[in-house]
Chains A and B, each alone.
Chain A
């Protein structure tokens, strides 16, 4: 039984790891007052960049950089349409998801496939056990015997927390999500803050795509993120817009999927589909239970418009 439990823990971690960066990125965007429905597209663009960058140069580092650029590019479209022009944020997110699904599939075929879906393989990043720590029971295999980007994602929580809650920049970012007019009053430009936050969120979410490609799948297939961006969105809700909370939620969702994959071996009384519903159900229940007290940034979803100069 211990072996099984340990296997489950390790698997949960592995399944959750692509979600970490995506959720962190989403928090940046939502804290600044912009719904992050576009995460799915940003992650997909990141996965595309990571695969093609690594495939063309043979260097995973180039792939990682390309994933950041890819995610940021998709996010720029959101920043322009939803923030600059003030369009409905959620619907804009849906639009970029549709667009990215098409454009990654098209460019994959045209750039390297000569019109067909190419068969490309990139080597997976190696597992790097942390010396000494990886020999600890339980936490060793779960936390300290991972691939490099997983460590990066876990560690990124610390600077993310510090940035959001201990710096002037983070305060301005959160203020843009709570009360953009107050940001304007302090002399900053809330629209600029929001646009930068959205683009940064895309860069970070793109890294999530790199994790998926370089640590797990090793290639790009059409729509390979398969709803993970939306799952990360649910994790943000369950984690109540806190980096650590979202991380725990991702791990929880990872565990749900790990259990689901082993549903037959575990002889569970429920079907794998029911278990897959859990993340979305939990997110809905959290939202419904918190109701009005859900700590959604107060001005999220509300387009910001600069106050008009009084006419002379």
Chain B
């Protein structure tokens, strides 16, 4: 019956999987809320109104989604080529550091130059870090997951180091830089709103990644590498060059996410500003079935979820840490579903 539907109307299996995983984790979370003696319907509706209740809240949620979409897109490209890059956490942190650093050492006065140099510096810093991981992986045959994971912690500490040294705001009780000059602030999309340019950048990046993946030779090589390493070698693609290129691209996207967060939300570098972003972006990439276009709704889902949870905690007294439960469960369900489909295909 379903098979007779025209192709365009068929729901892709990735979307079904994502919907099932999200549904299952919401059911599990509802049970948790019930056990805790609260009303799950009240909690979820508070969450919904918290996320969509007003233009301001929607803007807030979109801003929260931006780093997830940016970093998730890069991770999706890597994972699709079977390069397990979990270094987003560190690459985002360094992206923020790069943006703030260039703003202080090479101040620009026109807004165009200021934002442009800072975003580029963020991308370069992120790419430097992922490139380092790729180099260690390729030259010394270190598992890329271990290399990216260990570099995360070093990057976070580097940000701390910078904030306690040259970049730190003198006299501030908290490890943060001074406020950036006005020229560096990302423009808002509508006056009076807090929605900044970041979401547009994120969508453009995701669309570009989609075109790259499906309509270019590079994207083809990436897909071949993901499907079969030996086929990629046989086809004459250089696996190490591809790996390095993809890691650099993913790092640049993560770095851009960090730069956007600094220029669009905080207007300064703050220690721990990127806590959890990189790991959550892995969930977003998987939820988006490693498809750059689908990473957009997956990232938006996360952003709205987090924005809504804060309102839920205020109004119903259900702790917002429930978000991590939903995120973790969703990720486990998607992983389990992906793996069991792969097993069935192999059988």
Pairwise interchain contact A280-B332, C-beta atoms closer than 8 A: no
Residue of B nearest to A113 (CB): B319
> Smallest CB–CB gap between A239 and chain B, Å?
14
A273-294 CB contacts (< 8 Å) to partner B: 273-274, 276-277, 280-281, 283-284, 287-289, 291-292, 294
In the assembled complex, A42 has its CB within 8 A of some CB on chain B: no
Pairwise interchain contact A283-B150, C-beta atoms closer than 8 A: yes
Provided the pairs A95-B328, A271-B165, A291-B141 are in contact, do residues A284 and B340 lie with their beta carbons within 8 angstroms? Answer: no
A281–B136 CA distance with the chains assembled, in angstroms = 12
Inter-chain contacts of B149 with A (CB < 8 A): 37, 90, 230, 233
Pairwise interchain contact A291-B142, C-beta atoms closer than 8 A: yes
Inter-chain contacts of A97 with B (CB < 8 A): 279, 328
Residue of A nearest to B318 (CB): A115
Inter-chain contacts of A127 with B (CB < 8 A): none
Interface of B (DSSP majority class): helix
The tally of residues in A whose CB lies under 8 Å from a CB in B reads 56
> Smallest CB–CB gap between A116 and chain B, Å?
8
Inter-chain contacts of A273 with B (CB < 8 A): 157-158, 160-161, 164
Stretch from A53-61, A102-110, A198-206 at the B interface:
A102-110
Pairwise interchain contact A105-B324, C-beta atoms closer than 8 A: yes
* Chain B 219-257 near chain A by CB (<8 Å), digits 1 or 0: 000000000000000000000000000000000000000
Pairwise interchain contact A288-B140, C-beta atoms closer than 8 A: yes
Stretch from B52-60, B120-128, B280-288 at the A interface:
B280-288
Pairwise interchain contact B36-A287, C-beta atoms closer than 8 A: no
Range class of the B interface residue count: 35 or more
> Smallest CB–CB gap between A227 and chain B, Å?
7
Pairwise interchain contact A287-B146, C-beta atoms closer than 8 A: yes
Pairwise interchain contact A287-B318, C-beta atoms closer than 8 A: no
A85–B340 CA distance with the chains assembled, in angstroms = 6
Pairwise interchain contact B328-A96, C-beta atoms closer than 8 A: yes
Provided the pairs A95-B328, A96-B328, A234-B150 are in contact, do residues A276 and B339 lie with their beta carbons within 8 angstroms? Answer: no
Inter-chain contacts of B62 with A (CB < 8 A): none
Residue of B nearest to A100 (CB): B328
Residue of A nearest to B340 (CB): A85
A133–B188 CA distance with the chains assembled, in angstroms = 68
Task: Identify the B interface with A (CB < 8 A).
Answer: 32, 35-38, 84, 86, 136, 140-143, 145-147, 149-151, 153-154, 157-158, 160-161, 164-165, 276, 279-280, 282-283, 286, 317-319, 321-329, 331-332, 335-336, 338-340, 342-343, 346-347
Task: Identify the A interface with B (CB < 8 A).
Answer: 35, 37, 77, 80-82, 85-88, 90-92, 94-103, 105-107, 109-111, 115, 222, 227, 230, 233-234, 237, 271, 273-274, 276-277, 280-281, 283-284, 287-289, 291-292, 294, 296, 301, 303, 305, 308
